[in-house]
């Protein structure tokens, strides 16, 4: 049984050494440079045009003026337990008067 254990250790060491030699040979052969070139090409050919198409889609679909939905003063929405520490204390930090309603309705609509 001990001989089998020693034999398996020898095989494991030889396979690890062979793997290390193969990895170093691949690195020396410029494998890393080819991989970097592939990712650079993918970035310029796939990723950047994909981002540009998404930006164009968002601009074209959401640039139009749209009507706000009818304001319904639900009691569980837009709760203010204390005032915000900026402005008039009623608007959130990223308040957009065209989209976000206040507790009493949209701004500019009576």
Cα distance between residue 52 and residue 43, in whole Å: 12
- Which tens digit of pLDDT belongs to each residue from 3-54? 767 766 766 666 666 666 666 655 555 667 888 899 999 999 999 999 999 9
Question: Higher-confidence residue: 107 or 31?
Answer: 107
Domain extents in the chain: 10-62
Can you list the positions of beta strands (E) in the chain? none
Cα distance between residue 96 and residue 79, in whole Å: 17
pTM: 0.39
Distances (CA, A) of 12 to 4, 7, 95: 12, 9, 64
């Amino acid at each position: 049984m001990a001989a089998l254990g020693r034999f398996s250790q020898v095989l494991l060491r030889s396979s690890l050494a062979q793997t290390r030699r193969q990895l170093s040979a691949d690195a020396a052969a410029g494998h890393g440079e080819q991989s970097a070139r592939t990712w650079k090409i993918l970035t310029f050919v796939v990723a950047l045009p994909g981002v540009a198409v998404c930006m164009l889609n968002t601009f074209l679909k959401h640039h139009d003026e749209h009507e706000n939905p009818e304001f319904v003063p639900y009691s569980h929405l837009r709760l203010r337990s204390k005032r915000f520490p900026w402005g008039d204390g009623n608007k959130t930090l990223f308040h957009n008067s065209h989209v976000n309603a206040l507790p009493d309705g949209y701004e500019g609509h009576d």
